[in-house]
Amino acid sequence: MTTAPAAPLMRMLLAQTRSELLMRWRVPAFSVTNLALPIVFFTFFGLPVAHIVRGGVSIGAYLLASFGAYAVGNVMVYGFGIGVANERGMKIDRLMRASPLPPLVFMLAKVVTALVFSLVALVLLIGFGIVVGGIHQTPVVWATIITRLLAGSLPFIALGFAIGYWSGPNAAPALANLIYLPLSFASGLFVPLNQLPVFIQNLAPYLPSYHYAQLAWSALGAGREPLGVSLVWLGGYTVLFLALAVRSYRREERAKFV
Amino acid sequence: MACAPLVAHNLGAMASVVELRGARKRFGQIEAVKGVDLTIGAGEMVALLGPNGAGKTTSISLMLGLRRPTAGEALLFGLHPEDRRARSRCGVMLQESGTTGVLTVAEIVDLFRAYYPSPLPTGRAIALAGLDAKVNARIGTLSGGERQRLYFALAVCGDPEALFLDEPTVGMDVEARRGVLESIRALSKAGKTIVLTTHYLEEADQLAHRIVVIDHGVVIADATPREIKARIPSKRINFSSETALGESTFSGLAVQSLEIRDGRVHLLSNEPEAVLRGLFERGVVVRDLEVTGAALEEAFLSMTRRA
């Protein structure tokens, strides 16, 4: 026998990622919510105050960073939460399980796809802010914001997986909204924290999206804590959400495949 | 991954394709598979035949590593069934599995081709499934039978050595069914190992060289279609008689299951004409005669009782 015993993993990953990108792009529930919603929100909450500069910080840039954090978290929580729950509902997992595709490559393709969508969402949002809102920062600042938001998105990937494995296809969208929207609001992503009620200001420093947004805000000199502190919080939340995701995944495994 | 697998691969080539050894599978209170020993060699075309709920799907799941045996062992190409090298040599078509609706037929076949080391050309796989007219159709627009054919295309697109087809023709119309059965036969002729489940005796008979009859989680017969057909009663005969009949009346006749209740006789047979001729010769007066096809379920019941 001269053929290789198995297909190269890289070829599998590329093909899988290509299909995931196509699938996401063709489902408006993903593509529109992922790419357009942050711009719509920024138009309402950000554009009217984009020209204001307070304490040396451009409010427009600050809100672009906020909605950028919202946008990436959105791609992760919704994409994985609803995506995984839907695939379980359609029993795609059974066919995939029987194929030679390793589960890890299957998941990795989803992560790469989500990162690509996040990058596109950020470029569109920031481009919109620059062109329509006339907001200026150096390219290095924009690049720092984008890089940090992509690299720091791990806890939201884990949260998405946890929702996707824990809930069914009908409950997942509701659950994702119930968790992610209040989380974003209470972390000051829609309206700056100092304009929110005091009890929310007190609550915010315990939320993952608050520390996530710090990664972007601090790139503008508007951070409220050292970078290391944000990373420790995000790491802790990643562990917590991953533990929840693994628990639900294992429960599913036992029911379906053991 | 270049050198180590080569050894195992060669080992695998010598081993049988499927090996179940005392395999049992329990789901809570229910034991779906109760100790199955089954070896399927390269190039065999085997039908697992049995009524719904007999344990066919669970047996295939054990072979493919979709389920782990509660006791006993399952090997695929001599390897653990979840081993990627074993999986890479198998194409599968499962019941109760789904796929995305938003890719086109060609796109998803292309995707599955990437999972295998030396796949067929996309068009060839689609043609084997008879889906040429739907190459660029979104999966979501396919009918139930077309979807079933798409799963067949996904099973064959990797040009695997072994195909596992769980109820492959369910939901297909007559023409699609004939086309797919034709493709299965051609693949078997080309040397592929084929394991399929069905609850139709005719389908098993048309395709397989070997029929494994499974009922209530055990193998009750494992033989050629000709032998199986001889053992599975195909007709049910019911009649009343004025004279009281005992079991002795039927001795020497080709009767496989006999029940006499309230003066009415219920029996199963493969040779209804011979049985009736025998009864007439013995002077039995037959009234309200009914001869009908026996349902597979009752036929299996009679086989299990005798086993």
Please give the Cα distance from B307 to B290 (Å, whole number). Answer: 27
- Say which of B1, B8, B107 has its CB closest to residue A19: B107
pLDDT at position B297 is: 67
Mutate which: A21, A93, A94, vs B, most B CBs within 10 A: A94
Choose among A11, A16, A100: nearest Cβ to B88: A100
Pick from B82, B111, B113, B166 the residue to mutate for testing the A interface (most A CBs within 10 Å).
B111
Residue to mutate among B102, B115, B195, with most A CBs inside 10 A, is: B115
CB atoms within 10 A of CB B128: 22
pLDDT tens for each residue of chain A, 258 residues long: 445 788 899 999 999 999 999 999 998 888 888 899 999 999 999 999 988 998 888 999 999 999 999 999 999 998 889 888 988 888 888 888 889 999 899 999 999 999 999 999 999 999 999 999 999 999 999 999 999 999 999 999 999 999 999 988 889 999 999 999 999 999 999 988 889 999 999 999 999 999 999 999 999 999 889 999 999 999 999 999 999 999 998 988 888 877
Helix (H) or strand (E) holding B288: strand B286-293
Dist CA A36 CA A178 (whole Å): 20
Cβ contact A22–B64 (<8 Å):
no
Do residues A111 and A72 make contact, with C-beta atoms less than 8 angstroms apart?
Answer: no
Per DSSP, helices labelled H in chain B are 4-14, 56-64, 84-87, 105-113, 122-128, 144-156, 174-189, 201-207, 225-231, 272-281, 296-306
Residue B11 — pLDDT band, cuts 50, 70, 90?
A: very low
Q: Does B66 touch chain A (CB under 8 A)?
A: yes
The structural domains of chain B, ordered by start, are: 16-228 (3.40.50.300), 232-306 (3.30.70.100)
How large is the average pLDDT for residues B249-278? 88
Please indicate whether, in this complex, the C-beta atoms of A15 and B114 are within 8 angstroms of each other. Answer: yes
Residue B295, amino acid: A
Interface check B68 vs A, CB under 8 A: yes
Chain A residues with beta carbon closer than 8 angstroms to that of B97: 91-92, 94-95, 98
Among the residues of A36-58, which ranges form H helices? Answer: 37-45
Contacts of A87 in chain B (CB under 8 A): 100
DSSP letter string, B152-179 = HHHHHTT--SEEEEESTTTT--HHHHHH
Q: Other CB atoms closer than 10 Å to residue B144's CB: what's the count?
A: 11
How many helices and strands in chain A, by DSSP H and E?
12, 2
Interface size between A and B, measured as CB pairs under 8 A:
100
Q: Are A109 and A229 in contact (CB under 8 A)?
A: no
A71 against B245, higher pLDDT? A71
For tokens 């304009």, name the residue.
A195
Which residue type is seen at B129? A
| Cα separation, A140 vs B100, whole angstroms | 40
| One-letter amino acid of B221 | A
* Contacts with A15 from chain B: Cβ below 8 Å: 110-111, 113-115
CB contact under 8 A, B115 and A100: yes
B226: contact with A, CB 8 A cutoff: no
Residues of B in contact with A92 (CB under 8 A): 97-100
Judged against a pLDDT cut of 80, whether residue B299 lies above it is answered with no
Least reliable range by pLDDT among A56-60, A89-93, B53-57, B138-142: A89-93
The domain segmentation of chain A, as residue ranges, is 9-252
- C-alpha B176/C-alpha B128 separation (Å) is 11
Answer for the pair B243, B287: CB distance below 8 angstroms, yes or no. no
Distance to chain B for A159, nearest Cα, Å: 23
Please name the residue that has the structure tokens 């984009």. A50
B14 touching chain A per CB within 8 A: no
Beta bridge partners of B197: B48, B166
Q: Give the percent of chain B with pLDDT over 70.
A: 92
CA nearest A20 in B: which residue? B103
Query: Quick one: closest CA in A to B28, which residue?
Result: A255
CB contact under 8 A, B102 and A23: yes
Q: What are phi and psi of B241, to 5 degrees?
A: -140, 145
- The answer to whether residue B134 scores a pLDDT higher than 80 is yes
Kindly state the tokens that stand for A168.
């069914």
Place of tokens 């007559």: B174
Q: Which residue has the higher pLDDT, B232 or B142?
A: B142
CB contact under 8 A, B87 and A100: yes
Q: For the segment A76-105, what is each residue's pLDDT rounded down to a tens digit?
A: 998 889 888 988 888 888 888 889 999 899
Judged by CB atoms closer than 8 Å, whether chains meet at B66 and A257 is answered as yes
Strand A53-54 relative to strand A57-58, pairing: antiparallel
pLDDT band per the 50, 70, 90 thresholds, residue B2: very low
User: How many angstroms from the chain centroid is the CA of residue A229?
Assistant: 20
B6: closest CA of chain A, how far (Å): 7
Computed over every residue of chain B, the mean pLDDT equals 87
Q: Which residues of A72-108 are buried (b: 16+ CB within 10 A; e: fewer)?
A: bbbbbbbbbbbbbbbbbebbbbbbbbbbbbbeebbeb
CB contact under 8 A, B84 and A6: yes
What is the pLDDT at residue B230? 78
The answer to whether B13 contacts chain A (CB < 8 Å) is yes
Instruction: Give the per-residue pLDDT at B296.
Output: 67
Check if B116 contacts A (Cβ < 8 Å): yes
Is B112 within 8 Å of A6 when comparing Cβ atoms? no
The distance between the two most distant Cα atoms of chain A, rounded to a whole number of Å, is: 72
Say if residues A110 and A81 touch (Cβ distance below 8 Å).
no
What values do phi and psi take at A168, rounded to 5?
A: -90, 175
| Residue B55 per-residue DSSP state | S
Which positions ≥6 away from A192 have C-beta within 8 Å? A59, A62, A63, A66
Residues B9, A1: C-beta atoms closer than 8 Å: yes
Kindly determine whether residue B66 and residue A97, on different chains, have CB atoms separated by under 8 Å.
yes
Mean pLDDT of B172-193: 91
| B183-224 residue pLDDT tens | 999 999 999 999 999 888 788 888 899 999 998 899 988 999
Q: Specify the DSSP element, H or E, that contains B26.
A: strand B18-27
Size of chain A in residues: 258
Q: How far apart are CA B72 and CA B25, in angstroms?
A: 9
Confidence (pLDDT) at B50 = 85
CA-to-CA distance for B94 and B106, rounded, in angstroms?
A: 20
Chain A neighbors of B156, CB-CB under 8 A = none
Which residues from A are below 8 Å from B66, CB to CB? 94, 97-98, 257
Q: Which of B16, B151, B49, B147 has the alpha carbon at shortest distance from B92?
A: B151
- What the block records as the tokens of B141 is 């627009």
Helix (H) / strand (E) containing A249: helix A227-257
Query: With contact defined as beta carbons under 8 Å apart, do B181 and B206 qualify?
Result: yes
Q: Tell me the pLDDT band of B96, cut-offs 50, 70 and 90.
A: confident
Tokens of B304: 């299990």
Distances (CA, A) of B19 to A100, A168, B11, B22, B75: 19, 36, 14, 10, 5
Q: Report chain B residues whose CB lies below 8 A from the CB of A1.
A: 9-10, 13
Helix axes A227-257, A208-217, angle to 10 degrees: 130
Residue A246 burial by Cβ neighbours in a 10 Å radius (0-12, 13-18, 19+):
middle
Residues in chain B: 307
- Predicted pLDDT at B14: 60
Q: Name which of A6, A11, A91 is nearest B97 (Cβ-Cβ).
A: A91
- Residue A132 CA to residue A136 CA, distance in Å, equals 11
What is the pLDDT, as a whole number, of residue B3? 42
